[in-house]
Amino acid sequence: MNQKLKLETLAVQAGYTPENGGPRVAPIAQSTTYKYDDAQSVADLFDLKRPGFFYTRLANPTVDCFEKKIAALEGGVAAVATSSGQNANTLAIMNIARSGDHIVAISSLYGGTVSLFSNTLKKMGVEFTFVLPDAPIGELEAAIRPNTKAIFAEVLANPALIVLDIEKMAQAAHRHGLPLIVDNTFPTPFLCRPFEFGADIVTHSTTKYIDGHATSVGGIVVEKGGFDWSNGRFPEFINPDESYHGLVYTKNFPEAPYSVKLRVQWIRDIGTPMMPFNAFLSMIGVETLHVRMERHCQNALALAEFLESHPKVAWVNYPGLKSSPQHALAQKYMPRGASGVLCFGVKGGKAAGEKVMNSLKIAAIVVHVADIRTGVLHPASMTHRQLSEQELIAAGVSSDLIRVSVGIEHIDDLKADFDQALRQA
């Protein structure tokens, strides 16, 4: 589909074009396999000589529609959907780093990603250096080594809500021949399209705003295209892949070598594709992304302003607030709104905050974010529980921090709910 179309049109229409008389909505291809009339057709598919489907672990028609829709929304050349956001970030790294390699990452990442990097991928031999997201660029560049393979960051950090200076970070990465990989889960392509600012790979937990209704766990990795994988740092892209009959990714698939490699090596071998039913639900979800995100942003700003003026509230962090030190960066990278998540602390600290959380009637305590229903969470004892004291500080998670995922209910009801809960603290 023409990528020059507006994002709202792409959200609704991209990814699936019905044939004459075909179903209007992309159908669920709930089938593991596909039937062919002759053996050569299947051999050609295995050899990647022509596109098509042969086994759902590698590709599936419903998942394919979802991948094309998200690639169009982000403005990338290709996308690979995965079983979860965790898996998207795992494969985004493993696709370019092997044992003995190194990655520079910002420290204010989602707790699950910090744990993945500093424990599990470390055990597999990949080393990570964490730098503060607002560290001077010189400090970031000083962390780059000859064996560094990428810089990894979140566009809007969960839950510290620090806005990434994507342009600055991309320039630093490119000076060293490295791709910038960004997790764009919180902004979504409706609020920010990181490729336009120089990022090379975008990941998502599609579990969040893309699905939007808390129905489906999923992830996706999107490739911008055009990165020079033959610059000397990435031999696996230019040398024959013996596990795939000597395929050379940059030569055989010059348009999207990173995505093809991720699919035919990692999804094939590790076996973590998105399932067709989840792709179907996520696709229905993302078709209203633009409508939902507008309301999430409006409600979050209004609730942040309300909390900021509330006598029981100690502090509020929302990059859309004029008082936020993040405001200028948020205006630059997310001019349509600063997403639907805010954080605050209650006077009286953690205990008072717990009382407020327990007293809320509309907002529910949930280990989730980006749902149409408002939810609250205490990261230090929940999502970031596995982090050390030091990692919590680096991630911007104070012990009194309450994260609110502001839904799309009526704002008056949300304000009234938080007001009655705060009065009980």
**Closest C-alpha to 170, from 140, 193, 192, 200:** 200
Residue pair 365/375 in contact by the 8 Å Cβ criterion: yes
Instruction: Give me the DSSP letters along 362-398.
Output: SSEE-S--S-SS-EEE-GGGTTTTTS-HHHHHHTT--
**Closest C-alpha to 128, from 146, 106, 108, 111:** 106
The residue (of 84 and 118) whose beta carbon lies closer to ligand PLP is 84
| E-only strand ranges, 258-356 | 313-317, 341-346
Tokens of 287: 């078709």
The residue (of 59 and 92) whose beta carbon lies closer to ligand PLP is 92
Question: For the window 307-346, what string marks contact with ligand PLP as x by the rule CB under 6 A?
Answer: ----------------------------------------
**Least distance to ligand PLP from the beta carbon of 415, Å?**
26
Cis status, amide bond into 273, omega within 30 of 0: no
The residue (of 76 and 257) whose beta carbon lies closer to ligand PLP is 76
The residue (of 62 and 207) whose beta carbon lies closer to ligand PLP is 207
**Least distance to ligand PLP from the beta carbon of 112, Å?**
5
Query: Residue 196, exposed/middle/buried by CB under 10 A (0-12, 13-18, 19+)?
Result: middle
The residue (of 112 and 257) whose beta carbon lies closer to ligand PLP is 112
Indicate the residue whose CB is closest to ligand PLP: 85
- According to CB under 6 A, which residues from 81 to 140 bind ligand PLP? 84-86, 89, 110, 112-113
**Closest C-alpha to 317, from 400, 374, 418, 414:** 400
**Least distance to ligand PLP from the beta carbon of 330, Å?**
17
Phi, psi of 87 (to 5 degrees): -70, -35
374 lies in the site for ligand PLP, by CB under 6 A: no
Residue with tokens 């042969």: 54
Residue pair 203/179 in contact by the 8 Å Cβ criterion: no
Tokens of 284: 């229905």
**Least distance to ligand PLP from the beta carbon of 170, Å?**
19
Sheet holding 313-317, edge to edge: 313-317, 341-346, 402-405, 375-377, 364-365
**Least distance to ligand PLP from the beta carbon of 87, Å?**
7
Residue pair 206/220 in contact by the 8 Å Cβ criterion: yes
**Least distance to ligand PLP from the beta carbon of 389, Å?**
21
**Least distance to ligand PLP from the beta carbon of 52, Å?**
29
154 lies in the site for ligand PLP, by CB under 6 A: yes
In three-state secondary structure terms, 42 is helix
- According to CB under 6 A, which residues from 190 to 229 bind ligand PLP? 205, 207, 217, 219
The residue (of 336 and 368) whose beta carbon lies closer to ligand PLP is 368
The single residue among 62, 90, 185, 317 that binds ligand PLP, judged by CB under 6 A, is 185
The residue (of 56 and 185) whose beta carbon lies closer to ligand PLP is 185
The residue (of 110 and 234) whose beta carbon lies closer to ligand PLP is 110
The single residue among 64, 183, 354, 400 that binds ligand PLP, judged by CB under 6 A, is 183
56 lies in the site for ligand PLP, by CB under 6 A: no
Residue with tokens 């990603």: 113
| E-only strand ranges, 289-379 | 313-317, 341-346, 364-365, 375-377
The residue (of 145 and 368) whose beta carbon lies closer to ligand PLP is 368
The single residue among 115, 148, 158, 265 that binds ligand PLP, judged by CB under 6 A, is 158
The residue (of 60 and 205) whose beta carbon lies closer to ligand PLP is 205
Torsion over CA of 312, 315, 318 and 320, rounded to 10 degrees? 90
**Least distance to ligand PLP from the beta carbon of 49, Å?**
34
First-to-last C-alpha distance (Å) of the chain: 53
**Least distance to ligand PLP from the beta carbon of 327, Å?**
21
The residue (of 144 and 380) whose beta carbon lies closer to ligand PLP is 380
**Least distance to ligand PLP from the beta carbon of 212, Å?**
13
**Least distance to ligand PLP from the beta carbon of 122, Å?**
18
Question: Binders of ligand PLP: how many residues, by CB under 6 A?
Answer: 15
Identify residue 164 by its one-letter amino acid code: L
Number of Cβ within a 10 Å radius of residue 180: 27
- Return the range that interacts with ligand PLP (CB under 6 A); candidates 80-88, 142-150, 167-175, 319-327: 80-88
Interface residues with ligand PLP (CB under 6 A)? 84-86, 89, 110, 112-113, 154, 158, 183, 185, 205, 207, 217, 219
